[in-house]
Amino acid sequence: MGNIKGLLFLGVVAVIGFTYLNGSSGPASADLGVVLDRTKVAIEQYQDYLGDQKITEVTDQHMSELAVYMNDVMNAEPRISDAPVAVDILADASFLGYADVNDNLILDEGDTKLFTVEIDSQNERLIASDGSGNATHTGFSGTGFLAGMLIGNMLTRQRSAGVKPGSFNNRTSTPRSAYKSSSSARSRVRSGGLSGGK
């Protein structure tokens, strides 16, 4: 009887240890649906901000401001990661989000890549993906979303980096309305959403 209790105890410890070590509460499981929602809102709000300021040309400084704003949006409550999330806008105009463990806004060796968000202009969608092969997308109105100078600038950067309009045609992703995140990511984003604006 003592051996059975000992085995049960070891089994429980092993399950808890496996769950903990495999990162069920670790930073690498951001909810891609929430990432996508927040990215779309941030782009729309920043585009509106540029319009309100009567800015007629998007510069590198504006793109840097957008990256800072994206950091704020991704770290809004409820949190999508245990560690602070940093966002870099890459040369191809995709957004790279990572768990910035030391909160220095630099992708260091100990930081974990969480997601990438890309603009698929030909199919009028944003695609969020992670390193595990999960991907989800949401559509956008071509006339409203694509007409803004911010998106226009990003698409120009995308083309300059060699991303062609049909590059995303074979990309498999789940529509946002059907996407289900992992249980660990869902536990981080319990309820609520993005509030406030630029």
Report if residue 80 sits inside a domain: yes
Question: Splitting the chain (198 residues) into consecutive groups of 10 residues, what average pLDDT does each group show?
Answer: 42 33 47 94 92 92 94 93 93 95 91 94 92 90 72 92 91 89 49 42
Report how far residue 11's alpha carbon sits from residue 117's, in angstroms, rounded to the nearest whole number: 40
Q: Does residue 44 form part of some domain?
A: yes
Round to whole Å and give the CA distance between 70 and 77: 14
Give the total number of structural domains in the chain: 1
pLDDT of residue 10: 36
Provide the pLDDT for residue 128. Answer: 95
pLDDT of 143:
57
Q: How far apart are CA 41 and CA 192, in angstroms?
A: 15
Of all helices (H) and strands (E), which one includes residue 46?
A: helix 32-52
| Domain coverage including residue 180 | 28-188
Q: How far apart are CA 50 and CA 189, in angstroms?
A: 30
2 within a domain of the structure (yes/no): no
Is the distance from CB of 30 to CB of 173 less than 8 angstroms? no
Residue 111 lies inside a defined structural domain of this protein: yes
Give bridge partners of residue 96 from the DSSP assignment.
Answer: 88, 116
Radius of gyration of the chain (CA): 19
pTM for this entry: 0.77
Q: Has residue 43 been placed in a domain?
A: yes
In a domain, 18, yes or no: no
Residue 9 covered by a domain: no
The answer to the question of residue 14 being in a domain is: no
So what's the pLDDT on residue 84? Answer: 93
